[in-house]
Chain A
């Protein structure tokens, strides 16, 4: 048996089985449970690295669930794919790698503070990882919906984990309503496409739309997909659920939720760049660009007036989503106008690199904020101050996150933002101006947190955050500095294959359709 052939299935199956075994091991021993969850997550992460290397060699990997020959997407008796197909190209592998990495770091952070009901917490955590990775690896629309639901339900339960504070339950309730609404729109869109083409496979639907041309039903499905995934991605002005959810989620869950949000961004990319790109009107990239600009503007200006440290970072996360949308919109606009080499490729490069940087930078800031809340039991910026006296390492790590998210050189945030500024300038200088102004305000926002939390007189004597929290923050800070100093390492080896996968969408379709 060739185990490597089943790699995509293992990446989903391992956290799934581990999720259901965790409550059993929890009943035996808490330390054994933690070790088991860590090993499962570490194996999943290693498998995503191996998968990425495989994709670099083979370009695209297909895996048919339950088939005698998992590489044969279309059975001999059929003309179209009928089973669930996992299809992995550069963009899928890129997203899966990021999600697994951030989940592993989040898990290490969680060991430091999750004590009560740990069995349930880690079960939900692993289910959230399953949902996220499933969304990013599947090539089947209905399967995408199922994994979206798994990720949403697990995330909502995790947001409500500290249910004794009423606000967490309220945030979770809002999140599940918004997620259900979004999932309903996605399901409706899938139903429309299935009714029209009798297909659920993304590559096969893309091929059918290419052949028959874009019908009104296809347009309605596109709009439903678009608004549903934009909502789940936290794009303004549909972002209001995001500060509630990120702000109330416990510890590292705020950071891993960014991964769930980005899985929705991935779905948006797949819908736009693979299924619809050949028949799309330029109004769609224009809408994406407008939503991006609104997200940057509302995100940074609303962050400036927040007093809750996690809500403030959550609004900054909305602005970061704006940068990604802006770059994606400009990339799509360039492809539709045959300007791939002029600026579209670079815009997508900047956007995808920023997806990676966003999760590292905002993730680090969320971990620092969670560490502060864990130690001080305080989240109001007006009541905090002078923490640098007793939390030296945490304050230095916050400075690293601050510099990175504000796009200060030589951090990773600057490297991705400069590519975005220059590429969007080719479409309109106004786009660059808004993006740069957004970064300036972003710097002001995090200077506000640093000033109010870390500087000033010592109010109370606190201890440093636990070592496991510090270790997970250090890993993120190390990655931020490394990719800031050597951005070419990640751009050449990780981002560019993902960009190529988005631009050369024919390969994705032909691999399944057997051209």
Chain B
């Protein structure tokens, strides 16, 4: 157990709580409807087309989070421009940040 600012964290208690909640959830699931037909009811409807087997489908990495990246398109365009891969730019960023710290220390605040 470790003390945090607002309370404490005990992983063993968390694991016990997790197991208890898991068992309760499993028990609730077990008392579900008896007329449930395994396989048939979870089959998706794809405009009448046959669903491909799970093994035949794999969404590639670049397609994941497409919506998130699309929503932040302008941010990512800026970020890509920033990450040029050119060492001169890396050095420029370093010099720029050092200059900002100089300004912050000597003009905005006095150490």
Binding site for B on A (CB under 8 A): 173-174, 177-178, 181, 185, 214, 219-220, 222-224, 226-227, 230-231, 237-238, 240-241, 244, 279-284, 287, 298, 301-302, 304-305, 307, 343, 346, 381-382, 384-386, 409-410, 414-415, 418-419, 422-423, 425-426, 444, 448-449, 451-452, 455-458, 484-488, 491
Contact = CB atoms under 8 A, between A and B. Distances in A.
Given A382-B62, A451-B59, A223 B5 contact: no
B85 interface: yes
A410 B9 CA distance: 10
B94 A302 contact: no
B11 interface: yes
Nearest to B110: A281
A281 to B, nearest CB: 4
B109 to A, nearest CB: 4
B15 A410 contact: yes
A284 B111 contact: yes
B65 A444 contact: yes
B21 to A, nearest CB: 13
A227 B94 contact: yes
Interface in B46-66: 55-62, 64-65
A416 to B, nearest CB: 10
Given A240-B89, A415-B2, A219 B105 contact: yes
Contact of A457 (B5, B58, B102, B106): B58
A410 B14 CA distance: 7
Given A382-B61, A410-B11, A227 B98 contact: yes
Contacts of A181: 91, 94
Contacts of A178: 87, 90-91, 94
Contacts of A282: 109
B60 A240 contact: no
A307 B61 contact: yes
A143 to B, nearest CB: 24
Nearest to A445: B65
Contact of A301 (B1, B11, B61, B79): B79
Contact of B11 (A287, A415, A444): A415
23 contacts: A173-B87, A177-B87, A178-B91, A185-B98, A224-B98, A231-B94, A281-B109, A283-B104, A346-B5, A385-B60, A409-B14, A415-B2, A418-B4, A419-B4, A422-B4, A422-B5, A425-B5, A449-B61, A457-B57, A484-B11, A485-B15, A487-B11, A488-B2
A108 B31 CA distance: 51
A2 B4 CA distance: 42
Main DSSP-derived SS at the A contact region: helix
Interface in B74-108: 75-76, 79, 82-83, 85, 87, 89-91, 93-94, 97-98, 101-102, 104-106, 108
Contact of B105 (A283, A307, A384, A491): A283
A346 B76 CA distance: 35
Contacts of A418: 4, 9
Contacts of B89: 240
Contact of A305 (B12, B14, B69): B69
A409 B108 CA distance: 42
A283 B4 contact: no
B94 A238 contact: yes
Contacts of B76: 301, 305
Nearest to A346: B5
Contacts of A456: 55, 57-59
A237 B2 contact: no
7 closest cross-chain pairs (CB), A and B = A456-B58, A381-B61, A410-B11, A452-B61, A422-B5, A283-B109, A227-B98
A223 B98 contact: yes
Contact of A419 (B5, B14, B94, B97): B5
B60 to A, nearest CB: 5
Nearest to A218: B111
A384 B109 CA distance: 52
B101 A287 contact: yes
B4 A346 contact: yes
